[in-house]
């Protein structure tokens, strides 16, 4: 593998050249057009033909939608209303990334307003009404989206003014443990890198039963290798990782692809 210092620039995504092509929106594949009939939440809408579209590359604050034991996230109503203003009643062009449909039958796509070319995901990030969110099988366009998110965060736009969405410290494992089940952005300096059972562990402390850990599973490691990145080179780096907090001893985030990690300093 390449050394980390040659595979990425400090301050950028932990991503190299995937399949020899840069991460850019011109990689998207053309999809259908349709008129938006209804907006469900800040990242999901229905087309007039009944197709349900889940915007990829972002996650808007969630509405409870009547589910037991759940509550609306802060800014959920604002995100839904903003998306409605952007797309409802308008013709939308869908463009697909790597996976075009999920197990629920939803179309997974980037959306562009046909009349103006407005990139809907980018606009939601610019408004501060979504965060960048990616999956291992849908990872295109992220560099552009991260830049837009960073600008909104610097301006404290939308959700970035709310403590619920604050960037968390890896050095506060008790606080992180209380956020189990939440999607979070966590920053800290990697204290050590370990390997066991086909996984790589980025450790942010020495007490593995208590401290925060990032876990890269075997499938994720193959994507790191394809990108020319050696996670061992993250030892000592200041990083930001995003994902769902769970508990296994201490709090952890499971990493399935390199783009979940931003290198802030090395």
- Rounded to 5 degrees, what are φ and ψ at 22? -75, 155
pLDDT of res. 18: 34
> What is the residue range of 51's domain?
25-138
Examine residue 42 and state whether it is found in any structural domain, yes or no.
Answer: yes
Examine residue 119 and state whether it is found in any structural domain, yes or no.
Answer: yes
Residue 242 has pLDDT above 90, yes or no: yes
Residues 124 and 174 in one domain: no
Residue 20 has pLDDT above 80, yes or no: no
Average pLDDT, rounded, for the chain? 91
Residue 84 has pLDDT above 70, yes or no: yes
Mean pLDDT of all residues in 63-85: 90
- Residue 11: pLDDT band (50, 70, 90) is low
Mean pLDDT of all residues in 197-202: 96
Higher-pLDDT residue of 119 and 208 is 119
Residues 132 and 59 in one domain: yes
- Rounded to 5 degrees, what are φ and ψ at 183? -85, 120
Residues 175 and 120 in one domain: no
Mean pLDDT of all residues in 180-197: 97
- Residue 21: pLDDT band (50, 70, 90) is very low
| pLDDT, tens digit, 9 for 90 and up, residues 113-142 | 999 999 999 999 999 999 999 999 999 999
Residues 253 and 186 in one domain: yes
pTM: 0.90
Residues 109 and 172 in one domain: no
Domain stop point among 99, 122, 138: 138
């Amino acid at each position: 593998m390449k050394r980390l210092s040659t595979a990425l620039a400090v301050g950028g995504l932990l991503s190299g050249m995937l399949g020899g092509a840069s991460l850019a929106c011109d990689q998207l594949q053309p999809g259908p057009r349709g008129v938006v009939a209804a907006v469900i939440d800040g990242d999901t809408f229905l087309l007039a033909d009944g197709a349900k579209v889940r915007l990829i590359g972002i996650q808007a604050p969630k509405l409870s939608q009547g589910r037991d034991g759940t509550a609306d996230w802060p800014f959920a109503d604002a995100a839904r209303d903003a998306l409605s203003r952007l797309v409802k009643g308008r013709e939308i062009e869908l463009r697909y990334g790597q996976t075009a449909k999920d197990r629920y039958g939803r179309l997974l796509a980037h959306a562009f307003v046909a009349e103006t070319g407005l990139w809907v995901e980018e606009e939601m990030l610019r408004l501060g009404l979504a965060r960048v969110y990616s999956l291992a099988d849908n990872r295109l366009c992220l560099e552009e989206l991260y830049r837009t998110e960073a600008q909104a965060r610097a301006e404290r736009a939308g959700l970035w003014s709310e403590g619920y969405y604050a960037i968390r410290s890896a050095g506060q494992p008790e606080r992180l443990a209380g956020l189990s089940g939440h999607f979070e952005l966590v920053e800290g300096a990697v204290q050590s890198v370990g390997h066991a059972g086909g996984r790589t562990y980025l450790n942010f402390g020495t007490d593995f039963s208590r401290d925060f850990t990032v876990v890269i599973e075997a499938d994720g490691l193959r994507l790191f290798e394809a990108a020319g990145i050696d996670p061992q080179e993250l030892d000592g780096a200041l990083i930001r990782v995003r994902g769902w907090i769970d508990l296994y001893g201490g709090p952890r985030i499971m990493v399935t692809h390199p783009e979940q990690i931003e290198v802030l300093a090395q």
